[in-house]
Every structure is written in C-alpha cells, then in structure tokens.
C-alpha cells in the first residue's frame, strides 16, 4: 500500500519555500544537457515549464494534441490573473492572497502549497510584462487591476477579455524561442497514450501520432503531465472540445493517486443551453459581475410571461426585480464566489423564477453601469465578450440584459502531488489544472492562470532539478527496454479492441448520455441516493460503450472518432471516480454540495471533524473498486471557519 507523504518542508509557513530552495539539490550545466524531461501539454503550465527548463539547459520534449502549442485550452481564459502586487494600495499582501485562496477553497487545500503560490504570484506578472504581454494599463502608464469574485481587493491583471490568450502567447513564444535554440523538441498533434514505468520510476511515455496513427516510444528521466482538467466528463462544459482527462487516468492506472475527483467547479455565468445539438457552453467572464447586476423577476407571473415570450426584461420595473445576490449577500453582492453564485441561480430557477425559453437562465444586466459610466467604458472593458454573446444569442447585450446559467468549468481535483508537484510515482510530476494542489474544494476566479504559470515558471524548474540531481548517472535508456515494448503492446491491444467493437452508437451519443447522468446526479446538487444511482448508470454506460461503440475507418492515418473514443473510455472512468468520491464525502464544501449537509439558510455545511482531508484514490483494477487513502489537512496559520460572504 502506498503511503501519502506530502513532503512539506520544515519551518514557518512564510519561510518554507525559501528554505526549500536554499537546500535543494542542483544539477550543474554540463549534466543538464544529458537529462531528458518529457513535458506533456503546452497550456500555461506545460509551455512555461518547457520554456524554463529548456532555458536552463535541460533536454526537453514537449507534446500537445493540438496542431500548435499556441492553441492549448488556456488560450480561452478571459478574465484575468491574480497577484499580490498591491499596486492599487488597497491593502493586499501575500498573506491576504493566500488567505483568500484557502478560504475560497473552503479549507480543503494544502496550506504550504497555497502560500507558495501567493508568494510567487508577483514574479509571474513581472515575467509576463518582460515577455511583452500587453496587460491593460492606466493613463499614467502603469498596470491596471480589477476585482474578481471572492476578494475585497483589486488584484486581477488582465488583457482585455483575452488574458489567457496573451499569457499563453507569452509562454508559447518563450517556448518557440527554445525550439529555435534546440533545447526543446516539439511534438504537435501527438497524444500521450500511456506512461512507461521502469523500476518504479516514470521513464517515458507511449505517444500516438494523430496524423499517421503510429505509436512511438519516448524516453525521459522525468515526465511532467500538464494536460489540463477533466470537465468534459460532463460532455457540455466551457472547456475546449479537446480537453480531456486521459493522461490523468493513465497515471492513475499506473499507480498514481487521483485526488478529490468530486471537486468540480460550476461557473455561474455561461450562455444557457439551447438545444440537443449543442456541442459546448460558452463562458461569459466572471469579470462581468463587476459591472453587471444579476436578477430574476420578483413575481412568478412575470417570469412565466417572459418564458412565454409575452414580456421583455426591459419592461419589468425596478421594484419588480429580485437582485437576489445583493439581497442575500450584501457584503459581496454580485461578487460572491462562483459556487455560491451558481447555487443561488439554481435555487431561483428551481423555485420557478428562471427566464429564457427553458426557464434555466437568469439575467446579467449592465443598464445601471452603462448609465453610470457610459457605453464606451463598458465597451472598452468587455467589448469582445459582448460581441461574442451577440454572435451566439443574436441579442444586443448593451440594450437587453444577457441571459446566463451555470455550467461545468474547471476541475479542482486531479492527479495527487506532493509539495514538489511530484506524484506518488517517482519521476512523474503534474502541473496546472491536471494536479489537485492549490484550490481545495473551489477555485477563485483568476487563480488558475496564476497557478499554471506558478507551477511552470517558478516551481517545477526547482523541484524537478531536486529530483534529477540524483539521476545524473542514469544514462539515456534506449526505448527497446522490455518495459517500453510491453507498454506499447498493451496500448496497441487497447486500440485494436476499440476498433473491433463495431457497434451501432457514435462516440458522441454515448458521451452525451454520460454527461446527462453526471449533470443530473453529480452536478450542482448531490445526494446519497442520486450518487448511488449515478455509479450504477455509469457502469451501464461503460458496458454500452465497450460493446456498442462504432468507430469508422481504421487505426492507420488520422481517425478522429478513434481519438474521441479513447478519451471517452477514460471519461467514463473519471465519472465513476467523481461519483464515488462525492458519495464518500458526506459534507458540503466549495463546489461539492451534498443536499443532506446544508445550513438552514441553504449554505454549504462542512464537517471538519470528519472530512478535513484530501481523498486520494488508488486504482485496484478495472473490475474492482478503487481504494481510498487520506491526506489529513493540517492548518497552522489559518483557522477553519464557515465561509461567510454576507
């Protein structure tokens, strides 16, 4: 049985990272060239890590399923990135950012990691500016900040509504510079399909060339998974179509722990679902909540008339509107954290006050901001988001309120890592959204970009070195070692099996079924009975998939249905893990809301005496239930209290 050891350095919280860096092992320049590091994923976490390790002189191999590193899902992040710069002089500090993140995560994150995150946040902004990231500025020429949900200070840096794009392009350009310098070799349209373990250590991967269909073996002294989150388990989410959880599942099968799978974030402000054909959900950045006010009609009959198309939102008088967030949470108002805002929207819609044709929508209204600041100001802040909305919904949000509804957005759970971002398999690291480390049960807005870049620029370059320092005498292996051959054979068998099913159902039709089960039973509100049902449903879907999926074409050349099928097989396993974890966690915390555990006012009720731990799941075989291990969470610097945004 593996033991959970988070390897948190000694010393007071604020000194841990400095102490670590002061005492870690280093690799000298001539040895770096002899060490190969595989980095899977070129999102913010992967691209920044690959560029930094390349600059340091390691021999890096970088993999992505897209045609270019610049297209990773990170490109879509809109709102911004947090840092504790305190440029606006509104009382921010490293401690406050740390505290807000721990509190926002509902006291389910590891203190030491979160503190380090807050500590390196400022360096990220410096780095990005040096790379030429065009952050928004004020007339004086200095950087502008905005506020985001879950914080009472303005600490969010942004580049229009395209912050992720600009940060990723910065990291991508740094990466391409290393490709040019020959320190990084890039493999695009190439998918990790398994991890190779030699003598208990991660030593390489099997990758599939998505253009030729060929399987290739790659050796690395260490392997980093920066493969993003698994929100697409739900089929409909705000994630890019290609986002997937397969690398995490491959690691899980090889013995890596999967931590807190049930912590998924539902984002309150997405464009509502239209119809059957819908392929993804579009996020409207949370930053809109700075200037938009959320409401539904206060009278049921008005809501009904709106749903029937007989009344327009602009016809509803001010006193007949229910600005329910401002009403329930006067201190934070429209800026409450995401989980709170999402549940409040669901509550209103379930109670019959929802709008839109389906009744599953609420308004996000900019009228008072436009009256106060002028249309120009609103346009300069959110122009591209408004345009995006209008192209999709065919309504002008400057004139009529936007309609929004919650959707799956981000997964806080992921591959378990210790303080060094190393999994329980030596040599296997995980970074960015793919790991579970910093956000506890709920992630605050603008903190994922911060975490991805913290991991890639400022954490992994140190911690990997500490690991590799013991490996300088390990020569490059040939990929003809038996472990490589066997792993490749197993992968080939799996793909052949998928191709041989020759059933009747398309991959998407089964994926939609999985998504529906997840949304209904493992979504915003969960309960024991529903979760037990979900586990059963997912088992049925698994059976249906493995006996009735249809994949046209063959294994040679490009076969997109085969790619999708392989990922769906893994999503089904993740769905099962999510449901099991949610069933085990008999409390409500952050994004995980168990209906049995709520206060009289309907707020999440934690059970700190029983559940102040990270759930770490160990794979026990396809036909057995996974085993649960616990990493107890010890808080030295903050006191656990019930979150209060009133």
Partner 1 sequence: MEKTINLTLKVWRQNGPKEKGRFETFKVSNISTDSSFLEMMDILNEQLISENKEPVAFDHDCREGICGMCSLYINGRPHGPDDDVTTCQLHMRKFKDGETVTIEPWRAAAFPIIKDLIVDRSAFDKIIAAGGYVSVNTGGVPDANAIPIPKPDADDAMDAASCIGCGACVAACKNSSAMLFVSAKVSHLALLPQGRVEAARRAKAMVAKMDELGFGGCTNTGACEVECPKNISIANIARLNREYLVARLGE
Ligand X SMILES: Cc1cc2nc3c(=O)[nH]c(=O)nc-3n(C[C@H](O)[C@H](O)[C@H](O)COP(=O)(O)OP(=O)(O)OC[C@H]3O[C@@H](n4cnc5c(N)ncnc54)[C@H](O)[C@@H]3O)c2cc1C
| Distant-in-sequence, close-in-space partners of 367: CB < 8 Å, separation ≥ 6 | 401
Query: Which C-beta is closer to partner 1: that of 200 or that of 552?
Result: 552
151 binds, among partner 1, ligand X, none (CB under 5 to 8 A by kind): none
C-beta of residue 125 within 8 angstroms of C-beta of residue 155: no
DSSP string, 425-484: STTEEE-GGGB--S-TTSPPTT-HHHHHHIIIIIIHHHHHHHHHGGGTT-PPPPTTSHHH
Q: Tell me whether residue 254 or residue 505 sits nearer to partner 1 (CB atom).
A: 505
Q: Which stretch binds partner 1 (CB under 8 A): 44-52, 91-99, 219-227, 628-636?
A: 44-52
Residue whose CB is less far from partner 1, 157 or 219: 157
Q: Which of residues 438-477 bind partner 1 (CB under 8 A)?
A: 457-458, 461
Query: Cβ 512 to partner 1, closest distance in Å?
Result: 11
- Closer CB to ligand X, 65 or 197, in the complex: 65
Q: What residues are paired with 37 via a beta bridge?
A: 60, 222
**434 contact choice in partner 1, ligand X, none (CB below 5 to 8 Å, kind-dependent):** ligand X
Query: According to CB under 8 A, which residues from 233 to 252 bind partner 1?
Result: 240-242
Q: Which of 354, 377, 329, 383 is nearest to 272 (CA)?
A: 354
Number of Cβ atoms within 10 Å of the Cβ of 24:
15
- The entry of ligand X, partner 1, none that residue 561 binds, CB within 5 to 8 Å by partner kind: partner 1
Applying CB under 8 A, which of residues 5, 11, 26, 142 lies at the interface with partner 1?
142
Residues 6+ apart with CB under 8 A from 247: 40, 41, 192, 225, 227, 434
- Please enumerate in sequence order all residues whose Cβ is within 8 A of that of 425, keeping only pairs 6 or more positions apart, or say none: 197, 200, 201, 202, 251, 254, 255, 256
Q: Which is nearer to ligand X, 451 or 588 (CB)?
A: 451
138 binds, among partner 1, ligand X, none (CB under 5 to 8 A by kind): partner 1
Among 24, 31, 95, 176, binds partner 1 (CB under 8 A): 176
Which residues within the stretch 495-554 sit at the binding site for partner 1 (CB under 8 A)?
Answer: 506, 508-509, 550, 552-553
Cα separations in angstroms, 465 against 57, 112, 424: 11, 20, 17
Binding to partner 1 (CB under 8 A): which residues in 393-412? 394
Q: What is the smallest separation between the CB atom of 200 and partner 1, expressed in angstroms?
A: 31
Q: Strand, helix or coil at 241?
A: coil
CA distance 126 to 135: 11
- 278 interacts with partner 1 by CB under 8 A: yes
Question: Which residues, 293 to 352, sit near partner 1 by CB under 8 A?
Answer: none
Nearest of 265, 245, 264, 260 to residue 628 by alpha carbon = 260
Beta carbon nearer to ligand X, 243 or 290: 243
Q: Which is nearer to ligand X, 242 or 503 (CB)?
A: 242
Task: Report the distance separating Cα 427 and Cα 424, nearest Å.
Answer: 9
Say how far apart CA 233 and CA 570 lie, in whole Å. 9
Nearer of residues 81 and 579 to ligand X, judged by Cβ: 81
At its nearest, how many Å lie between partner 1 and the CB of residue 438? 20
Please state, in angstroms and as integers, the Cα–Cα distance from residue 538 to each residue in 235, 246, 268, 273, 490, following that order: 14, 17, 26, 23, 24
Q: Which does 45 bind (CB under 5 to 8 A by kind): partner 1, ligand X, none?
A: ligand X
Kindly tell me which of 211 and 539 has the beta carbon lying closer to partner 1. Answer: 211
Q: What is the nearest approach in angstroms of partner 1 to the Cβ of residue 418?
A: 22
Whether 221 and 427 have beta carbons less than 8 Å apart is answered as yes
Least distance CB 230 / partner 1 (angstroms): 16
Among 331, 351, 377, 392, binds partner 1 (CB under 8 A): 392
DSSP-assigned letter for residue 364: E
Angle of helix 460-468 relative to helix 44-56, nearest 10 degrees, comes to: 50
Question: Binding of partner 1 at residue 30 (CB under 8 A)?
Answer: no
Is 69 within 8 Å of 476 (Cβ atoms)? no
Residue 126 near partner 1 by CB under 8 A: yes
Q: What is the dihedral of CA 85, 90, 93, 99, to 10 degrees?
A: -120
Angle, in degrees to the nearest 10, between helices 560-584 and 246-253: 70
- Distance separating alpha carbons of residues 559 and 492, to the nearest angstrom: 15
Q: Which member of 174, 266, 344, 568 binds partner 1 (CB under 8 A)?
A: 174
How many angstroms separate the CA atoms of 96 and 114, rounded? Answer: 11
Nearest-angstrom CA–CA distance, 1 and 72: 36
94 binds, among ligand X, partner 1, none (CB under 5 to 8 A by kind): none
The binder of 457, among ligand X, partner 1, none, by C-beta within 5 to 8 A per type, is: partner 1
134 binds, among partner 1, ligand X, none (CB under 5 to 8 A by kind): partner 1
Is there a catalytic annotation at residue 348? Answer: no
Determine the straight-line distance between the first and last CA of the chain, rounded to whole angstroms.
Answer: 45
Unique residue bearing structure tokens 């993804």? 280
447's contact among ligand X, partner 1, none, with CB below 5 to 8 A by partner kind, is ligand X
Closer to ligand X by CB, 64 or 113: give it. Answer: 64
- The site string for partner 1 over 52-81 (x = CB under 8 A, - otherwise) reads x--x----------xxxxxx-x-xx-----
Number of residues that bind partner 1 (CB under 8 A): 80
Question: Pick from ligand X, partner 1, none: which does 506 bind, CB < 5 to 8 A by kind?
Answer: partner 1
Q: Which residues contact ligand X (rule: CB under 6 A)?
A: 40-46, 63-66, 72-74, 76-81, 163-164, 191-192, 226-228, 238-239, 243-244, 246-247, 283, 409-410, 432-434, 446-449, 452
Sheet holding 190-198, edge to edge: 190-198, 201-209, 215-219
From the list 338, 348, 537, 606, the catalytic residue is 338
Q: Shortest distance, CB of residue 161 to ligand X, whole angstroms? A: 9
Q: Is 277 in the site for partner 1 (CB under 8 A)?
A: yes
The 3-class SS string of 303-341 reads HHHHHCCCCCHHHCCHHHEECHHHHHCCCCHHHCCHHHH
Q: Which residues are catalytic?
A: 338
């Amino acid at each position: 049985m593996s033991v959970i050891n988070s390897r948190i350095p000694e010393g007071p919280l604020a000194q841990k990272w400095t102490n670590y860096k002061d005492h870690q092992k280093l690799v000298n320049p001539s040895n770096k060239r002899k060490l190969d590091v595989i980095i899977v994923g070129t999102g913010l976490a992967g691209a920044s890590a690959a560029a930094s390790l390349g600059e340091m002189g390691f021999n890096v191999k970088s993999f992505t399923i897209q045609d270019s590193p610049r297209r990773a899902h990170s490109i879509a992040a809109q709102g911004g990135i947090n840092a504790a710069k305190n440029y606006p002089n509104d009382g921010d500090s490293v401690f406050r950012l740390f505290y807000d993140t721990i509190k926002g995560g509902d006291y389910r994150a590891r203190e030491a990691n979160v503190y380090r995150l807050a500590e390196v946040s400022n360096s990220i902004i410096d780095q990005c500016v040096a790379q030429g990231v065009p952050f928004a500025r004020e007339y004086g020429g200095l950087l502008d900040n905005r506020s985001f949900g879950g914080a009472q200070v303005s600490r969010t840096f942004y580049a229009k509504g395209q912050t992720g794009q600009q940060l990723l392009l910065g990291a991508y350009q740094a990466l391409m510079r290393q490709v040019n310098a020959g320190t990084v070799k890039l493999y695009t349209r190439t998918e990790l399909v398994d991890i190779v373990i030699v003598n208990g250590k991660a030593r390489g991967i099997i990758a599939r060339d998505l253009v030729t269909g060929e399987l290739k073996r790659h050796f690395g002294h260490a392997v980093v998974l920066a493969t993003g989150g698994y929100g697409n388990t739900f089929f409909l989410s705000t994630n890019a179509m290609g986002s997937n959880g397969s690398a995490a599942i491959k690691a899980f099968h090889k013995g890596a722990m999967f931590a807190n799978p049930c912590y998924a974030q539902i984002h309150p402000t997405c464009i509502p679902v239209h119809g059957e054909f819908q392929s993804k959900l579009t996020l409207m950045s949370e930053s809109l909540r700075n200037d938009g006010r959320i409401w539904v009609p206060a009278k049921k009959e008005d809501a009904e008339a709106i749903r029937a198309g007989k009344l327009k939102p602009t016809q509803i008088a001010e006193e007949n509107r229910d600005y329910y967030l401002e009403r329930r949470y006067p201190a934070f108002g429209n800026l409450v954290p995401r989980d709170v805002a999402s549940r409040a929207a669901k509550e209103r819609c379930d109670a019959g006050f929802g709008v839109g044709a389906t009744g599953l929508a609420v308004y996000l209204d900019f009228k008072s901001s436009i009256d106060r600041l002028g249309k120009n100001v609103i346009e300069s802040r959110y122009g591209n988001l408004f345009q995006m909305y209008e192209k999709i919904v065919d309504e002008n949000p400057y004139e009529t309120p936007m309609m929004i509804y919650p959707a799956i957005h981000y997964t806080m759970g992921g591959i378990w890592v210790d303080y060094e971002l190393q999994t329980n398999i030596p040599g296997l690291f995980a970074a960015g959204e793919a790991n579970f480390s910093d956000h506890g049960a709920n992630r605050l807005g603008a903190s994922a970009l911060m975490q991805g870049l913290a991991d890639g620029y400022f954490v992994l370059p140190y911690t990997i070195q500490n690991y590799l320092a013991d490996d300088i005498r390990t020569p490059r292996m040939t990929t003809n070692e038996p472990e490589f051959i066997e792993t490749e054979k197993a992968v080939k068998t799996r793909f052949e099996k998928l191709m041989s099913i020759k059933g009747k159902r398309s991959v998407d039709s089964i994926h939609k079924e999985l998504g529906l089960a997840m949304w209904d039973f493992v979504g915003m509100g969960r309960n024991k009975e529903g979760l037990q049902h979900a586990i059963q449903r997912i088992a049925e879907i698994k059976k249906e998939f493995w006996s009735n999926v249809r994949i046209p074409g063959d294994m040679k050349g490009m076969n997109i249905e085969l790619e999708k099928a392989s990922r769906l097989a893994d999503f089904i396993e993740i769905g099962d893990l999510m449901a099991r974890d949610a069933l085990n966690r008999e409390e409500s915390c952050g994004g995980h809301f168990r209906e049995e555990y709520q206060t009289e006012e309907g707020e999440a009720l934690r059970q700190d005496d029983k559940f102040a731990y990270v759930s770490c799941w160990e794979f026990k075989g396809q036909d057995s239930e996974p085993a649960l291990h616990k990493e107890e969470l010890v808080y030295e610097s903050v006191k656990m209290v019930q979150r209060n945004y009133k």
